């Protein structure tokens, strides 16, 4: 079931554009995502999304004002205009020059007047190839939906994205691969800001330029993941769902593009609740004695709850998002334990190495448990090199000794 039009460049009909893209191309002026001209910071275009260059020949000039960030969604007030005529290979092109009086950052939600789908329709796209227990298939649908919308970056030592352990036979895995043809081909390139890859074998992939990396492994053993997905269900024949999927892909992809514009943060008022949920997840894992995959302990709750928020086009993660992610993870962990035969001993899996253990002891002595610690203070109180420090923080996060509530802080957890 190969879908040839997987590129974002092959779009010409309105239903193929996300709500934000449609609004900025056809309904709004002087609003868009900043794309600087070469290395300049005072010359930029305003694109309808980070995934689509503007069709408008408009260039913005910024003078004596703070610079916006690359990729930031802004609205511009214009003080005046000019134009420039260029000849390229015998053809003349006119570019409108707009001089910026002021600019402000805006929320993508104000631009989404037309949703291509509702969240439940988006989720249902991912389950139409499966049959069996309806309640369990619904849970699989949420897992695949969250993988599709990824998760924002919330620490400087770990990229955003969601990693999944797809516990399945080859037939179920191949069905999953067909469904994930919804992912644009641009997102499968290592240069992509949002990078996705489905892997038959375990392999560490960490594209330098990507802010979010979402990897789905087939029956992994060692690679850490945020959530297991036991595809322990029957699959329909391709002919039963092929036409529906090919018809719906443009709308589902458009919804996905809108969702990726949101960078939901977990508000500080929910920090203690998230901490309790992280502790409960760690207890569930360690009390089990053995697990069929390598669970990332520190990031699972923050990433999955932020992914739920993104799925619903929210700029902030709510308590309800956290509750949903905890329930989903708990169900998936239960089914993963039942479905997989290979088991890893948690005592060995979550043992700290030398640098990670040393950093944990130092931070505990200087700050204590369950205290928000500024990242600059972490650097100041460690004699590890910058590289070793980042590696140690990643290990502490993976093994449930810290969790990262935002880009500026970590929280040391009680580690047994």
Instruction: Say whether pLDDT at 340 is over 80.
Output: no
**What gap in Å lies between CA 196 and CA 194, rounded to an integer?**
7
For domain 19-111, the CATH architecture is Beta Barrel (2.40)
Over the stretch 308-329, which tens digit does the pLDDT of each residue have?
999 999 999 999 999 999 999 9
Confidence at residue 87, expressed as pLDDT on a 0 to 100 scale = 62
Helix (H, G, I), strand (E, B) or coil at 219: coil
Confidence at residue 90, expressed as pLDDT on a 0 to 100 scale = 64
Confidence at residue 338, expressed as pLDDT on a 0 to 100 scale = 87
**What gap in Å lies between CA 371 and CA 109, rounded to an integer?**
34
CATH 1.10.10.10 placement within the chain:
351-412
Confidence at residue 10, expressed as pLDDT on a 0 to 100 scale = 75
Confidence at residue 283, expressed as pLDDT on a 0 to 100 scale = 95
Confidence category of residue 268, pLDDT binned at 50, 70, 90: very high
More confident residue, 86 or 387: 387
User: Which CATH class name applies to 351-412?
Assistant: mainly alpha
CATH 3.40.50.300 placement within the chain:
119-341
More confident residue, 19 or 395: 395
Confidence category of residue 88, pLDDT binned at 50, 70, 90: low
Lowest mean pLDDT: which of 1-10, 45-54, 200-209? 1-10
Phi, psi of 184 (to 5 degrees): -60, 150
Q: What is the mean pLDDT of residues 233-237?
A: 95
Over the stretch 175-211, which tens digit does the pLDDT of each residue have?
999 999 999 999 999 999 999 999 999 998 989 999 9
Q: What is the mean pLDDT of residues 147-164?
A: 94
Over the stretch 367-389, which tens digit does the pLDDT of each residue have?
999 999 999 999 998 999 999 99
DSSP symbols for 333-380: HHHHHHH----EEHHHHT---HHHHHHHHHHHHHT-TT-EEEHHHHHH
User: 253, 242, 274: which is closest to 196 by C-alpha?
Assistant: 253
Instruction: Say whether pLDDT at 7 is over 60.
Output: yes
With beta carbons less than 8 A apart as the criterion, state whether 98 and 59 touch: yes
Instruction: Say whether pLDDT at 1 is over 70.
Output: no
Confidence category of residue 89, pLDDT binned at 50, 70, 90: low
With beta carbons less than 8 A apart as the criterion, state whether 346 and 290 touch: yes
Instruction: Say whether pLDDT at 252 is over 90.
Output: yes
Helix (H, G, I), strand (E, B) or coil at 60: strand
**CA distances for 294 relative to 205, 222, 223, 343, 371, angstroms:** 16, 6, 6, 10, 27
Q: How many other CB atoms are there within 10 angstroms of residue 193's CB atom?
A: 16
Confidence category of residue 166, pLDDT binned at 50, 70, 90: very high
Any residues with CB less than 8 A from the CB of 1 and at least 6 apart, and which? 178, 181, 238, 242, 245, 246
Instruction: Say whether pLDDT at 18 is over 70.
Output: yes
Instruction: Say whether pLDDT at 364 is over 60.
Output: yes
Confidence at residue 2, expressed as pLDDT on a 0 to 100 scale = 44
For the segment(s) 119-341, the CATH number from 3.40.50.970, 3.30.1330.10, 3.40.50.300, 3.30.210.10 is 3.40.50.300
Q: How many other CB atoms are there within 10 angstroms of residue 86's CB atom?
A: 10
On average, the pLDDT of the chain sits at 92
Helix (H) or strand (E) holding 215: strand 212-218
Q: What is the mean pLDDT of residues 272-292?
A: 95
Q: How many other CB atoms are there within 10 angstroms of residue 204's CB atom?
A: 7
């Amino acid at each position: 079931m190969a879908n040839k039009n997987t590129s974002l460049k092959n779009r010409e009909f309105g239903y193929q554009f996300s709500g934000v893209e449609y609004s900025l191309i056809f309904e709004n002026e002087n609003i868009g995502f900043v794309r600087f001209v070469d290395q300049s910071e005072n010359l930029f275009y305003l694109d309808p999304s980070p995934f689509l260059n503007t069709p408008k020949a408009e260039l913005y000039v910024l003078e004596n004002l703070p610079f916006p960030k690359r990729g930031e969604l802004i609205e511009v007030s214009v003080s005046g205009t000019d134009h420039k005529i260029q000849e390229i290979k015998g053809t003349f092109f006119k570019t409108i020059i707009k001089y910026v009086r002021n600019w402000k950052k805006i929320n993508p939600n104000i631009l989404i007047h037309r949703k291509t789908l509702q969240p439940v329709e988006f989720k249902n796209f991912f389950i139409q190839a499966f049959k069996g227990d309806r309640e369990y298939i619904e849970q699989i649908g949420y897992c695949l939906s969250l993988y599709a919308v990824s998760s924002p970056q919330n620490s400087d030592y770990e990229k955003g994205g969601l990693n999944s352990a797809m516990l399945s036979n080859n037939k179920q895995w191949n069905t999953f691969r067909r469904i994930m043809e919804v992912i644009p081909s641009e997102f499968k390139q290592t240069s992509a800001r949002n990078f996705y890859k489905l892997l038959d074998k375990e392999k560490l992939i960490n594209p330098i330029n990507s802010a979010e990396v979402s990897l789905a492994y087939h029956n992994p053993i060692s690679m850490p993941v945020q959530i297991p997905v036991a595809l322990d269900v029957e699959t329909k024949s391709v002919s039963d769902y092929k036409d529906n999927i090919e018809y719906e892909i443009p709308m589902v992809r458009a919804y996905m593009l809108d969702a990726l514009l949101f960078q939901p943060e977990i508000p500080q008022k929910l920090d203690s609740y998230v901490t309790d949920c992280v502790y409960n997840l760690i207890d569930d894992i360690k009390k089990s004695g053995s697990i069929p995959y390598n669970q990332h302990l520190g990031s699972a709750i923050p990433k999955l709850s932020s992914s739920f928020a993104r799925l619903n086009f929210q700029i902030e993660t709510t308590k309800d998002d956290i509750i949903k992610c905890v329930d989903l993870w708990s169900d998936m962990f239960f089914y993963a334990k039942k479905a997989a035969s290979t088991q890893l001993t948690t005592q060995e899996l979550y043992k700290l190495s030398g640098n990670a253990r040393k950093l944990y002891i130092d931070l505990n002595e200087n700050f204590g448990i369950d205290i928000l610690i500024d990242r600059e203070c972490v650097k100041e109180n460690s004699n590890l090199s910058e590289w070793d420090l980042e590696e140690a923080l990643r290990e502490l996060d993976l093994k449930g000794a810290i969790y990262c509530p935002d880009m500026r802080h970590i929280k040391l957890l009680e580690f047994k």
